[in-house]
Amino acid sequence: MEKNNDAEILAVVREKITFTVREKSGIIKEQELIELLSFGDKKDQGAVRFFLDLIGDIRIEEKEKELEKSYAFSDFILENWQKIKNDGQSDT
């Protein structure tokens, strides 16, 4: 593979990942993201994890008993998510 092709492939993969996270309001559970991007193919799940590690503007978020391991944009504010989540639970 040529370097230009590598860059093009990475750009396409990055766009697919960021689109998928954006569709879920900027945060998505790790397992759900990996299932979506690998189309459930166990062999492709490792590749998906590899590409997730390459994307600098997406990070892992996790909070014991509140949020299982998830991926979010680096500018995602977990405290805002928690407030919205908690406000929604108090309404029920």
Strand residues in the chain grouped as ranges (E): 27-29, 58-63, 67-73
The string of pLDDT tens digits covering residues 26-59 is 999 999 999 999 998 988 999 999 999 888 899 9
CA distance 31 to 5: 29
What pTM value is reported for the model?
0.79
The CATH number for 17's domain is 1.10.10
Q: Can you read off the two tokens belonging to residue 51?
A: 């590409």
Measured CA to CA in angstroms, residue 3 lies from 6, 9, 15, 48 at distances of 5, 10, 18, 20
Q: Which domain holds residue 21?
A: 3-90
The domain total for the chain is 1
